[in-house]
Amino acid sequence: VPVEAEKNIVPFQKEDDNQILKDATENEKRKDMSLRLGADEKYKMERKAEYRVKAALMVPVHPDKSHINPNAPGAMGKPVHLDLNELSHEELKKYDEGLMRNAFNQYVSDMISLHRSLPDIRDPECKQIEYLKDLPDTSVIIIFHNEAWSVLLRTVHSVLDRSPTQLLKEIILVDDFSDFDHLKQPLDEYVARLSKVSLVRLKERSGLIRARIAGFDASTGQVAIFLDSHCEATEGWLEPLLDRIVRNDTTVVVPDINIIAEDTFEFELRGCKYSQAGGFDWNLEFNWLDIPEAERKRRAYNDCLPFRTPVMAGGLFAISRKFFEKLGKYDPGFDIWGGENFELSFKTWMCGGTLESVPCSHVGHIFRQRSPYNWRGDIDVLKRNTVRLAEVWMDEFKEYYYDRINHDLGDYGDVSDRKALRDNLQCKSFRWYLNNVYPELFIPSESKASGEIRNKAKPMCLDGSIEANNLNRLLISYPCHGYGGNQYWLLSTENEIRRDSKCWDYVSGSAKIKFFSCHGQRGNQEWIYRDDDTIYHPGSRRCVELSRNGRIMMNECNTHDLQKWFWKRVSAN
């Protein structure tokens, strides 16, 4: 079953289960391995590991000292490679649990100093920039739900250790109703010993959006900076962000986000040249974009200057208190996770601000493959958030998103006060946003056909995941499910069959139809939907066929129903 192909429409929890199952199987394998070892060997390993853990504890925790111990685990952002075969049974159990609970390698994180050193990764150009002297004070707001101890506190210490004292007013931690024991009394006690740090406890699970609002309301700095609870700020991260806001307090800025590897905790060394902008497709999922040529040109090809970005990833950004208040903070009707990054990005642009990414400011973030905590079983929160977003901010363009979820909006609650907010602020239209801020986005306005493509002989539809992390990007058949998602296709006026920026691409003589970035040059990407309902590929002079075993193949055109396809919507002309 092509689970991968159904990614867009399967509720999150299901994917979680699959991953947990997969992890569990891996864990079983590892355990087996350690049980197979003889007692002697095991004893030796336990001693070694014990020594290693002791060595880790010996890492000086004071920031100044961790710099002079270049051999401490993870020092200078170096990776920690664990040899699982060397772990004792007990340690292996800890390792497994850490992975299960966090979806990152907590075991390795626990070995690394809470003050670990990082190299100064700034480009030389960045160090030459003179930032304004008079910068505003800042509240850093870090929200968390069931975060690992070492990861959370390394986030906190990286901010304390690497922000100029006069600029950092406070750090507000917001606990979104975690149930991990270490986040209860032990955290209270730890935080009590830190100056500038305070802890807000939410009385019920509120989701990251309402948690951030609560943190913001408890804070007083002129600028609010939000961070995820698994970040590491680097030397010089703060000034370049504040500088932009002082110059114009309607500018919202994001740092360059470096990857902290979820397995080794290696800190990615990457300078200005690799900065990327944020974008999305009509499924309203975030993706990374190369900085558009127009924007590169506007900055005279100087990679280290701030650049405009259509949207932000969401977790790491700085905004002036006044502007965030003016924009109505976030929609408090958003639950748990997702969509709030688009809400704030659209509002920023449409209501008089600018959203920028600042390549000279680097903050690391642990990216992970799955969400380790519980969402909600009863509703699809991501869809609910996104529909609220579309209703309030996207005008007639919301239909392109609705097309992708088969117009099944579900119960998205009341958005009238959010619409009133938009009216009061006299924000610009979404069309203005697309034309001026994100002209690169493909707008499916003039398609010849769209929706699912159903076979005449069998209730099978053409299906495929175009996601970058799916290595098997090819066209398959799958029972028609009517949810849009991976069965949504669009026939463009240029005779491409596409979803977002990916097109069906067939190389004459090959076995499969694959998905590549649309090039607009016809050739391998030209498809003709003919009056006899066949899908014809002029380049190979073949037709798309559902084979008897359910595979999709290209064959000599014939009149059999297996080559006839019905598109959900075909335009009149």
Residues that bind Mn ion (CB under 5 A): 228
Find all residues with CB under 8 Å of 417, minimum gap 6, and list them.
Answer: none
> How far, in Å, CA of 151 to CA of 564, rounded?
55
Could you say whether residue 258 binds ligand LR7 (CB under 6 A)?
no
Please report, as residue ranges, which positions from 496 to 525 form the binding site for ligand LR7 (by CB under 6 A). Answer: none
Could you say whether residue 112 binds ligand LR7 (CB under 6 A)?
no
- Residues shown for the chain: 573
> How far, in Å, CA of 168 to CA of 534, rounded?
65
89, 92, 97, 102 alpha-carbon torsion, rounded to 10° = 170
Closest distance to Mn ion from the beta carbon of 19 (Å):
16
Q: Which is nearer to ligand LR7, 49 or 148 (CB)?
A: 148
Q: Which is nearer to ligand LR7, 405 or 480 (CB)?
A: 405
Find all residues with CB under 8 Å of 489, minimum gap 6, and list them.
Answer: 450, 451, 452, 453, 462, 497, 498, 499, 567
Amino acid (1-letter code) at residue 404: R
Structure tokens at 489: 């296709």
Closest distance to ligand LR7 from the beta carbon of 321 (Å):
19
Structure tokens at 424: 């009061």
Amino acid (1-letter code) at residue 346: F
Closest distance to ligand LR7 from the beta carbon of 147 (Å):
5
Q: Which is nearer to ligand LR7, 340 or 391 (CB)?
A: 340
CB atoms within 10 A of CB 269: 13
Q: Which stretch binds ligand LR7 (CB under 6 A): 295-303, 323-331, 338-346, 544-552?
A: 338-346
Which one of 271, 315, 464, 484 is in contact with ligand LR7 (CB under 6 A)? 315
Q: Which is nearer to ligand LR7, 143 or 171 (CB)?
A: 143
DSSP assignment, residue 385?
A: H
DSSP annotation string for 401-448? HHHHTTT--------HHHHHHHHHHTPPPHHHHHHHT-TTS--GGG-S
Q: Which is nearer to Mn ion, 145 or 564 (CB)?
A: 145
Q: Which stretch binds ligand LR7 (CB under 6 A): 54-62, 87-95, 137-145, 234-242?
A: 137-145
Could you say whether residue 336 binds ligand LR7 (CB under 6 A)?
yes
Could you say whether residue 143 binds ligand LR7 (CB under 6 A)?
yes
Amino acid (1-letter code) at residue 507: V
Q: Which residue has the tokens 């969401």?
A: 314
Q: Which is nearer to Mn ion, 228 or 500 (CB)?
A: 228
Find all residues with CB under 8 Å of 92, minimum gap 6, and list them.
Answer: 30, 31, 34, 84
Closest distance to Mn ion from the beta carbon of 322 (Å):
27
Give the 3-state secondary structure of residue 13. Answer: helix
Please report, as residue ranges, which positions from 208 to 247 form the binding site for ligand LR7 (by CB under 6 A). Answer: 208, 211, 228-229
Q: Which is nearer to ligand LR7, 233 or 313 (CB)?
A: 313
> How far, in Å, CA of 478 to CA of 84, rounded?
39
> How far, in Å, CA of 348 to CA of 568, rounded?
36
Contact by Cβ (8 Å): 336, 381: yes
Could you say whether residue 255 binds ligand LR7 (CB under 6 A)?
no
Could you say whether residue 314 binds ligand LR7 (CB under 6 A)?
yes
Q: Which stretch binds ligand LR7 (CB under 6 A): 81-89, 314-322, 432-440, 527-535?
A: 314-322
Q: Which is nearer to Mn ion, 104 or 489 (CB)?
A: 104
Could you say whether residue 253 binds ligand LR7 (CB under 6 A)?
no
| Closest residue to bound Mn ion by CB | 228
- Residue 451, phi then psi, degrees to nearest 5: 100, -160
Could you say whether residue 252 binds ligand LR7 (CB under 6 A)?
no
Q: Which of Mn ion, ligand LR7, none has residue 49 at its interface (CB below 5 to 8 Å by kind)?
A: none
Closest distance to Mn ion from the beta carbon of 320 (Å):
23
Please report, as residue ranges, which positions from 164 to 193 form the binding site for ligand LR7 (by CB under 6 A). Answer: 176
Q: Which stretch binds ligand LR7 (CB under 6 A): 7-15, 41-49, 141-149, 447-455?
A: 141-149
Is the alpha carbon torsion for 194, 200, 204, 205 positive or negative? negative
Q: Which is nearer to Mn ion, 259 or 528 (CB)?
A: 259
> How far, in Å, CA of 560 to CA of 228, rounded?
56
Could you say whether residue 207 binds ligand LR7 (CB under 6 A)?
yes
Q: Which residue has the tokens 């259509």?
A: 310
Please report, as residue ranges, which positions from 9 to 38 form the binding site for ligand LR7 (by CB under 6 A). Answer: none
Contact by Cβ (8 Å): 492, 499: no
> How far, in Å, CA of 246 to CA of 455, rounded?
59
Q: Which of Mn ion, ligand LR7, none has residue 207 at its interface (CB below 5 to 8 Å by kind)?
A: ligand LR7
Q: What b-and-e string marks burial along 465-484, b requiring 16 or more CB atoms within 10 Å of the CB?
A: bbbeebeebbbbbbebeebb
Could you say whether residue 144 binds ligand LR7 (CB under 6 A)?
yes
Closest distance to ligand LR7 from the beta carbon of 195 (Å):
23
Which one of 74, 255, 271, 338 is in contact with ligand LR7 (CB under 6 A)? 338
Closest distance to ligand LR7 from the beta carbon of 469 (Å):
13
Residues of this chain that interact with ligand LR7 (CB under 6 A) are 143-145, 147, 176, 207-208, 211, 228-229, 257, 286, 313-316, 336-338, 340-341, 365, 367, 371
